[in-house]
Chains A and B, each alone.
Chain A
Amino acid sequence: DAGVIQSPRHEVTEMGQEVTLRCKPISGHDYLFWYRQTMMRGLELLIYFNNNVPIDDSGMPEDRFSAKMPNASFSTLKIQPSEPRDSAVYFCASTKDAGELFFGEGSRLTVL
C-alpha cells in the first residue's frame, strides 16, 4: 500500500512567489490534515478536511494561505505571495474514522 504522498520534498523560492504543495492521501481515508512544523511553534494544525469538505481552517495563518481538496485523492496547500516567515516543513496526513494519522514525508519550504 502506498502511503501519503507529498510533493515537492523540497522547495526553495523567493519572497513574493506563489508556492503550491500537493498531497495524495491513502486510498479510503476520509480525513486529511495539513500541518506546519517549525522549531518555534512545533506542529501546528492549519486545516483539515472530512470527505473533501474543509471542517476547520482556523489554523490557517492569514489570507495568503489557501487549501483545497477537489476530490478524495488530492489536496493542495497554496501560499500566495510567500514570505520568509513561511519557511517550514509542511506535512500532510490522512486517517480513516477515528484512527491514527498517517503522515507524508513532508515538504520543506525555504522562502528567501
Chain B
Amino acid sequence: AQTVTQSQPEMSVQEAETVTLSCTYDTSESNYYLFWYKQPPSRQMILVIRQEAYKQQNATENRFSVNFQKAAKSFSLKISDSQLGDTAMYFCAFRDDKIIFGKGTRLHILP
C-alpha cells in the first residue's frame, strides 16, 4: 500500500528566509502524481504545487519549488523569501488513482 511520510511535525523560520519541508513516499507504481497542499487557519485546502512523476523537471510556482527525487521517492517543498501569509499546515499528497496525504507539517513564519 502507498504511504506518505512527513517527518517534520512542526517548523519555524524567520520571515524572508528559505525553508524546506520534507516528504517521502512508498509505492511500486511508476506513473503517479505528487502534490503539496496548504491549509491555513481558515481550514481551506489550497493547492500549492503539483508534479507528474514522468517529468524529470522539478515544478516551480513563484516562490514555491520542489525537489523531486524519483529513485529516492522524495518530494520536498522549498519556500523562498517566506512571508507571514505562508504560516499554515502543509500536506504532501500522492496520487495514482486514490489520493493519500501525509500527516502534515505545521509551519510558522516569524516576523
A residues neighboring B (CB under 8 Å): 33, 35, 41-43, 45, 48, 50, 55-56, 89, 91, 93, 95, 98, 100-101, 103, 105-106
User: Are A56 and B98 in contact, with the CB atoms below 8 A?
Assistant: yes
Q: Among the listed A33, A41, A89, A106, which residue makes an inter-chain contact with B98, where contact means beta carbons less than 8 Å apart?
A: A33
Work out how many contacts link A and B, with CB atoms closer than 8 A: 45
Q: Among the listed B33, B91, B98, which residue makes an inter-chain contact with A43, where contact means beta carbons less than 8 Å apart?
A: B91
Which B residues are in CB contact (< 8 Å) with A43? 91, 101, 103-104
A48 and B91 in contact, given A42-B104, A93-B45, A100-B35 (Cβ under 8 angstroms): no
Query: For chain B, what secondary structure do more than half of its interface residues adopt (helix, strand, loop), or is it mixed?
Result: strand
Which B residues are in CB contact (< 8 Å) with A93? 45, 99
Residues facing A in B25-61 (CB within 8 A) are 33, 35, 37, 43-45, 47, 50
Give bound CA distance, A8 to B44, whole Å: 15
User: Are A100 and B98 in contact, with the CB atoms below 8 A?
Assistant: no
B100 close to chain A: CB less than 8 A: yes
